[in-house]
Structure 1
Amino acid sequence: MANEEGNSMTTPVGPLGIIAMRGCEEITDKVDKYLCEWRDDADQGTFQIESCCPRFSSGEGKGLIKKSVRGHDIFIICDVFNYGVKYKMYGMEVPMSPDDHFQDLKRIIAAAGGKARRITVIMPMLYEGRQHRRVSRESLDCATALQELAHMGVTNVITFDAHDPRVQNAVPLIGFDSVQPKYQMIKALVNTYPDIKIDREHLTIISPDEGGMSRCIYYSSVLGLDLGMFYKRRDYSKIVGGRNPIISHEYLGGSIEGKDVIIVDDIIASGDSVIDIAEQLKAKKVNRVFIFATFGLFTEGLSRFDEAYKKGLIEKVFTTNLVYRTDELKSKKWYREVDMSKYIAFIINTLNYDRSMSELLDPVKRINKLLGKLKK
């Protein structure tokens, strides 16, 4: 197996098994294809283990694994934000909520019956990840969910761009990794725009708020770019949709006139904030506005992004294929999908052979190699 990470083979922890929860079939098929190309120990040409979570007409469900997993090193891929998956309850077709997906995940873990040698959950966008801290009398849903998984025997949790990685403090005795898709984002930008000039005179990184500064500092330091930030002024006297509404965004940083800018964030929900920031950047006479967001939820639809694109506020939105994307979104001129399936395959292969993930988690070498090719 030719592995670009340069690791030699060792003995695997156990026979590899991959379980795709509902809605994750597409990306799991791609991951499985890579692993089958690299390895020769696939059972009948696949590492996937068939499972299902059938529902009764009342909405109750159960988990079923259709093959023995005794002694296996199991990886369960779960997208808890896939609202495109539906089930019938009392004759009605109901889209699955994050709660429904998480419950099905626990059903599959329970169906394994403790027979697997090890269970790793790959949950790209962490369940209840934005409910990670307590500011009043409220629940700590993310911490509770992680503790449930640990109690059920999960050994590792792999997530991407966690809203606050410190939530792992809730489960200090199991593995927890928050993987960043920085290399893949930069590679997608370079492939889409070969004319892009990555230097201080032509490109600037923008953080949409103070909470995303650490994410943006990495980009600016590795790429050698200046960094700007927007400060969110909120109305703390009101709560709208569970949050204090944003009054305005205030820019903090140097001159960006005539430059391309990259707004880097973890999530696009409604998109109001990022479009407002793009509008303010255009008022400061920037050139092109690119948006990097690990997860594109687009909870309020795509029309406001269509309008922003027509006005010239945004050039391209890059999001990963780690969560559900509609066919309509994929067809948009302003959208570019960043495929993470090969990266997930590397993670699974590395963990199955019980090797260090340090090089996978720190992509500086790959980014520098990519920049070297771009300069040539």
Structure 2
Amino acid sequence: MLLFGLDTQASFDRALAAELGVPLAAHEARAFEDGEYKLRPLADPRGADVYVVQSLHGDDRASPHDKLCALLMFVATLRDHGAARVTAVVPYLAYARKDRRTKPFDPVTSRYVAQWLEAAGMTQLVVLEAHNPAALDNAFRCPVQHLQAHPAFDAVADELGDGPLAVASPDPGGVKRAQLWREHLEGRRGGPVGFAMVDKRRSAGVVSGTELVAGDVEGADVLLLDDLIATGGTLVRAARALRAAGARRVVACAAHGLFVEGAERTLADTALDRVVVCDSVPAFRVPAASPLRARLTVASCVPMFAHALRQSRASWLQ
């Protein structure tokens, strides 16, 4: 097994290697003066089962496009030099939000990314909480392991105690995601967990809809589950609606915390008691002195990825 981490500064890559008990394989990353770069494995990939870790979020060093291009070229290089299998380990998958056509001439970027990765020689994808799992499965022809984020948030649910609890989706598109966590929590708690959904519609980037809450949250602690946080507007809007419907506390949980411009101000809203995200994207956009940082919890999804890779490796060896 060879495990490469393309972002040499990413703590996720190092944590995954430590969890698996394997070293990160060395690679050369060379930048040219005009912005081009070269990636070369320094470990022989011939006949190997290779895993390449690359989270496709933008940061102050590289854009999502740069990281996607690096992943494509490195996967192709590994297959070109005889790797038996190349698995892309992508904690955050960029371009997954546009997974269907809703207007004339719309792109379907999730499918285009799938085609590029498969053309480069990727034989398997492991990803955390894609925007639409069904669309993801339809986009890729190679095997895809889609990891749900909610097990990483179980400790947060446990901390809320044994009182009335509900799981809510901030929009109709996330209903299945929230229902799966609700069923999971009912098994853990041995009792009923409520469910709710907040009305929301989006067109041309504009959110609309009433603050209607479908479900009973009166007197309950509510776990508000989404796939990602960008500005935080969707979660705050839903939290206000849940509070108006009688929720006692609202804790926002999301797999990916992008925290783009405006998020720090938006998420300061008192309708949210706490914000919890996974470490699929480092929370580098939230300053240490920010009030949001004091209410922010980062839950590790590394154990889930390590378990998935061990299972994948065992199945491949059989």
| TM-score of the superposed pair, with normalisation by structure 2 | 0.88
Shift of 1:162: 1.3
After superposition, give the CA deviation of every residue in 1:194-243 in whole Å (9 maximum; x if it has no partner): x5226xxx111111111000011112233231211111144x5xx3xxx2
User: For residues 233 and 263 of structure 1, what CA distance do their matches in structure 2 show?
Assistant: 17
CA contact (8 A) 2:57 2:64 kept: yes
Give matches, 1:16-55, under 5 Å. 16-22=1-7, 25-36=10-21, 46-55=22-31
Moved more, 283-292 or 155-164: 283-292
* CA distance 1:49–1:120, change in 2 (3 Å): same
Aligned to 2:161: 196
Name the count of aligned residue pairs. 305
- The structure number with the bigger radius of gyration is 1
**140, 158, 167: which one aligns with 2:136:** 167
Aligned to 1:320: 278
Shift of 1:98: 0.8
SS in 1 for 2:37: coil
Shift of 1:49: 1.0
Aligned to 1:221: 183
User: For residues 31 and 242 of structure 2, what CA distance do their matches in structure 1 show?
Assistant: 49
Aligned to 1:115: 82
Instruction: Give ranges in structure 1 of 5+ residues lacking alignment.
Output: 1-15, 37-45, 87-95, 357-376
After superposition, give the CA deviation of every residue in 1:343-366 in whole Å (9 maximum; x if it has no partner): 22222222112179xxxxxxxxxx
**51, 58, 61: which one aligns with 1:75:** 51
CA contact (8 A) 1:79 1:323 kept: yes
Aligned to 1:363: none
User: For residues 348 and 24 of structure 1, what CA distance do their matches in structure 2 show?
Assistant: 22
Aligned to 2:64: 98
Shift of 1:180: 0.4
Shift of 1:142: 1.6
* CA distance 1:50–1:301, change in 2 (3 Å): farther
User: For residues 313 and 287 of structure 2, what CA distance do their matches in structure 1 show?
Assistant: 34
User: For residues 145 and 24 of structure 1, what CA distance do their matches in structure 2 show?
Assistant: 24
Runs of 4+ in 1 over 6 A off after TM superposition: none
User: For residues 207 and 330 of structure 1, what CA distance do their matches in structure 2 show?
Assistant: 29
After superposition, give the CA deviation of every residue in 1:218-269 in whole Å (9 maximum; x if it has no partner): 12233231211111144x5xx3xxx2x1134432324423221111110111
Aligned-pair Cα RMSD in Å: 2.2
Shift of 1:67: 2.0
Give 1:131's aligned amino acid.
Answer: K
Aligned to 1:146: 114
User: For residues 220 and 47 of structure 2, what CA distance do their matches in structure 1 show?
Assistant: 55
Give matches, 1:275-314, under 5 Å. 275-305=236-266, 307-308=268-269, 312-314=270-272
Shift of 1:58: 1.0
User: For residues 32 and 158 of structure 1, what CA distance do their matches in structure 2 show?
Assistant: 15
* CA distance 1:259–1:205, change in 2 (3 Å): same
* CA distance 1:48–1:233, change in 2 (3 Å): closer
After superposition, give the CA deviation of every residue in 1:1-25 in whole Å (9 maximum; x if it has no partner): xxxxxxxxxxxxxxx1101011663
SS in 1 for 2:131: coil
After superposition, give the CA deviation of every residue in 1:265-312 in whole Å (9 maximum; x if it has no partner): 10111111111221222233321111110111111244325631xxx3
